[in-house]
């Protein structure tokens, strides 16, 4: 042993353990320790706890459940964001729920598709530039297909319309503004569009008769072969901006989008309160619109029709003159062959209750009048040439009113005047 070793380290060699892993003194050592007095606990201080050699761990089953819950929550959140992205992309793709406004856009020379998408996003033409880029790739549109220039886009244009414009370089488009009055028919709207060189009248009507739309109100319209124009009543009358030579799909969507925005949840709830479908409500509003025009008598006229509809046993027919006018002026001139069942489906002197569909495109005043009629006991009304209204509770009083209206000059019309 080294003489420089610390005396404290000079210990006798420990005996070798036996085959059981014990040393000869191990038993005596435990006995000696057992005889040592235990340290008393000091009052006010917690008793000493044994020190564990390892940290306590969460049971594995709890860890698995915790991780599973986190994964489920993350998956649900991810699916919600994905669904929202898909929904917004669909709206953007077809130009749904977008503002109806003209936006000037400049596409620089040599701009790539990615740059074009950013410009359209910045200027408010598209909401989802990534979706736009993916769609252009799907349509096999190349960078060299994009024509530079100054464009006038509408923010509600679909991707197909944007692609057509960007690929053709059709940069200068004349914009026309048209105001359609309440109560116009689809035929009158189509005629005005053609006169303004927006689109062909016949093409516009044929497109609306054949197209399918995802709007809730569209799915609620009953398919009836006796209905002349399925979307008559839904081409909302308002002021619109159109391009000269605009695509009929874009033109039609402007009208229908506007109608969809006007029918609020409150109005839908009111229709349910009255036990009316949306198509019945618009049909009734169209008759009120044609009978009352823009007068303040809409709610009174509405009350007459509501009273008759509620007492169908006594008054099975509305007997509204304007439903006959619709047949004569808007159906017969466009049919090559006579269709008496269709005529009768609109003629409320023949058909019981409401006509098979709207007879014009009513404005908001008429729609509100249909949903909020005055409370009266009238079952008849008639108007003279000055649009003065005469109301009556009984047939005898009504026929006297008809005579008085005719004496005012011109043709009287209203309920039961044919």
pTM: 0.65
- For residue 97, count other CB atoms closer than 10 A to its CB: 13
Q: Which residue has the higher pLDDT, 74 or 126?
A: 126
Report the distance separating Cα 98 and Cα 113, nearest Å. Answer: 22
Give the best-scoring range by mean pLDDT among 1-10, 360-369, 380-389, 407-416: 360-369
Average pLDDT over residues 106-131: 89
Structure tokens at 285: 């509003």
Report the distance separating Cα 26 and Cα 102, nearest Å. Answer: 97
pLDDT of res. 63: 74
Report the distance separating Cα 161 and Cα 245, nearest Å. Answer: 12
Q: Which CB contacts under 8 angstroms, 24+ apart, belong to 121-127? A: 123/153, 124/155, 125/153, 125/155, 125/157, 125/162, 126/92, 126/159, 126/162, 127/88, 127/91, 127/92, 127/98
In this predicted structure, the answer to whether residue 164 has a pLDDT above a threshold of 60 is yes
| Contact status, residue 318 vs residue 353, Cβ threshold 8 Å | yes
The structure tokens 């464009």 sit at: 151
Helix (H) / strand (E) containing 178: strand 175-179
Report the distance separating Cα 121 and Cα 244, nearest Å. Answer: 25
Average pLDDT over residues 364-373: 97
Report the distance separating Cα 12 and Cα 9, nearest Å. Answer: 9
Q: Which residue has the higher pLDDT, 365 or 104?
A: 365
pLDDT of res. 32: 46
Domain map (residue ranges) of the chain: 102-173, 186-304+311-373, 377-418
- Per DSSP bridges, beta strands 149-154 and 102-107 are antiparallel
Q: Could you read off the pLDDT of 302-322 as tens digits, one per residue?
A: 999 999 999 999 999 999 999
CATH level 3 topology of 102-173: Dna Ligase; domain 1 (3.30.1490)
Q: Could you read off the pLDDT of 10-56 as tens digits, one per residue?
A: 444 545 555 444 555 544 444 444 444 454 444 555 554 544 455 55
Per-residue pLDDT band for 269 (boundaries 50, 70, 90) equals very high
């Amino acid at each position: 042993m080294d003489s420089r070793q610390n005396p404290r380290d000079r210990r006798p060699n420990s005996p070798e353990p036996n085959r059981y892993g014990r040393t000869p003194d191990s038993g005596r050592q435990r006995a000696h320790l057992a005889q040592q007095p235990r340290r008393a606990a000091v009052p006010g201080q917690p008793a000493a706890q044994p020190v564990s050699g390892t940290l306590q761990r969460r049971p594995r089953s709890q860890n698995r459940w915790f991780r599973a819950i986190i994964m489920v929550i993350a998956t649900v959140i991810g699916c919600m964001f994905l669904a929202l992205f898909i929904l917004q992309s669909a709206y953007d793709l077809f130009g749904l729920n977008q503002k109806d406004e003209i936006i000037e856009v400049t596409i620089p020379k040599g701009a790539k598709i990615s740059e074009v998408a950013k410009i359209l996003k910045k200027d408010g033409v598209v909401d989802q530039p990534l979706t736009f880029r993916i769609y252009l790739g799907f349509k096999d549109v190349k960078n060299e297909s994009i024509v530079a220039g100054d464009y006038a886009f509408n923010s509600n244009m679909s991707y197909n319309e944007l692609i057509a414009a960007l690929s053709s370089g059709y940069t200068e488009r004349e914009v026309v503004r048209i105001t359609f009055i309440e109560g116009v028919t689809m035929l009158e709207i189509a005629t005005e569009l053609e006169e303004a060189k927006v689109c062909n009248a016949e093409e516009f009507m044929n497109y609306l008769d054949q197209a399918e739309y995802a709007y809730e109100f569209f799915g609620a319209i009953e398919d009836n072969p006796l209905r002349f124009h399925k979307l008559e009543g839904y081409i909302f009358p308002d002021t619109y901006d159109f391009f000269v030579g605009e695509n009929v799909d874009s033109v039609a969507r402007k009208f229908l989008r506007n109608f969809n925005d006007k029918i609020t949840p409150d109005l839908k709830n009111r229709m349910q309160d009255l036990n009316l479908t949306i198509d019945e409500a618009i049909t009734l509003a169209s008759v009120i619109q044609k009978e009352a025009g823009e007068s303040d008598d809409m709610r009174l006229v509405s009350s007459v029709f509501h009273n008759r509809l509620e007492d169908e046993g006594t008054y099975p027919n509305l007997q509204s003159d304007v439903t006959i006018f619709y047949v004569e002026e808007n159906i017969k001139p466009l049919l090559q062959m006579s269709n008496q069942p269709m005529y009768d489906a609109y003629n409320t002197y023949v058909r019981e209750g409401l006509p098979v569909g709207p007879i014009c495109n009513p404005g908001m005043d008429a729609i509100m009048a249909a949903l909020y009629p005055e409370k009266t006991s009238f079952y008849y009304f008639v108007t003279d040439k000055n649009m003065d209204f005469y109301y009556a509770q009984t047939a005898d009083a009504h026929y006297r009113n008809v005579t008085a209206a005719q004496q005012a000059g011109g043709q009287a019309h209203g309920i039961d005047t044919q």
